Amino acid sequence: MKLDPKKTAIIVVDMLNDFVREKGRLVVPKATDLLFNQSRLLEMARHLGLRVMYLADNHEPDDDEFGKWPAHAVVGTWGSEIVDELKPEQSSEVIPKRRYSGFFGTDLDLRLREKGIVTMILVGVLTDICVMYTSADASARGYNVIVITDATASTSEENHLFALEHMRSVHGTTLLTTEEAIEALE
């Protein structure tokens, strides 16, 4: 597989303090383990001039979602900030989102189409929630979707593996490791 850097974007999903850091409100147990592979991909992407975008869960203090989940990623709080290891560069775009999919209520689709992006590489958390819903909506919009299996995680390995298989078999998502993605970009 070969990827065209001019038509490919890396989308970092919800790598926020509330999901990654020990003091976060909804910590994903293996989230810190993802940082090394994610950093490698971002370094390669920037070297090749790929567009790098961040989807950031972002809620008002009284968001209805807090009926299902504890309050998290509240606007203006430490928990809503992207982790330091993956801080966006000036050329990166950060897209706040209030729902699971990065497409719902955002201009993500418009931004991608304006730049001629046809392939998106997804990394981040949670594999079975925000990554999966973003993958489904991207596939429905005709994008080629790649999920990096060792740069995504969920609350359990079982949930992670279920989501990966669901995205592959139902959405047509391509599953690659970090190493395979780097080779496809070289």
- Asked if residue 136 lies in contact with residue 153, where contact means CB atoms within 8 angstroms, the answer is no
Give the position of tokens 């309050």: 71
pLDDT, mean over the chain: 96
Rounded to an integer, the average pLDDT of 54-75 is 94
* Residue for token pair 């429905």: 140
Number of neighbouring beta carbons within 10 Å of residue 101: 21
Q: Which amino acid is at 163?
A: A
We report the CATH number of the domain holding residue 33 as 3.40.50.850
Give the model's pLDDT for residue 90: 87
pLDDT for 1 beyond 90: no
pLDDT greater than 90 at residue 5: yes
Residue range 42-60: mean pLDDT, rounded: 96
| pLDDT greater than 90 at residue 186 | no
Q: Are 94 and 54 in contact (CB under 8 A)?
A: yes
Q: What is the pLDDT of residues 90-149, one digit of tens each?
A: 889 999 999 999 999 999 999 999 999 999 999 999 999 999 999 999 999 999 999 999
**pTM for the predicted model, two decimal places:** 0.96
Q: Which domain holds residue 85?
A: 5-185
Mean pLDDT of 149-172: 98
User: In the beta sheet, which residues pair with residue 82?
Assistant: 16
**Total number of domains constituting the chain:** 1
